[in-house]
Structure 1
């Protein structure tokens, strides 16, 4: 019997191999849980490294209208090897798109700021996503 972690690795690899930018893939699991993955695109850093980005949302809960979510921005290399992630507080903290080696986070909920984060120089140890004015939230990269 496969574990949750094995299933997650398998479905992430499927999405990376399909190489379909922007499409959300939904994988149902036992009970009411599901994983939603969206491949953003890959970029090249100034050092020539290739980075691939996946938005990951894991939804779980007993009732359809009372689910909880764990959200991560997953990062892989050109060979689809997992490099690490930013564990973020909710779906509104996941990037909307990637443009010229920069992640774009659009305004959400009560926040009115757009955030752009560059990956041109590699993976930042921390990212700061704006909310109102200069207020926002910091997320730390957890890598292998």
Structure 2
């Protein structure tokens, strides 16, 4: 699963999917608390919506299952699985602060091989494959 061409293709697909979700992420800024997950943790309806949307598109387009923060999924210790946090920094996001993003990783047998951090509220995107360069807004970082 670490073939460079395959990883590049999967990174491109994942990037397209996150780009497609970014507008909805920005539009939902300030979403209220809707699901209590613990004494100091909660999710918004948008967390749930984005996880469903991104997970569905990833599974459909890559054939790889997704483990999401809100709904769970297959374990990450064996096989290949996407790991998704649709809104990292939900407290900040709900408060309308720009310090929140979408986190996505592809792991194979528990080892990360692709990572994406999308920060739609500040227009920043970071991504990398296991042996590739760090990409900042789609361009290799210097």
Task: Specify which structure has the higher proportion of helix.
Answer: 2
Larger relative contact order (Cα-Cα within 8 Å, sequence gap ≥ 6) = 2
Q: By the TM > 0.5 criterion, same fold?
A: no
Superposition TM-score, scaled by structure 2 size: 0.31
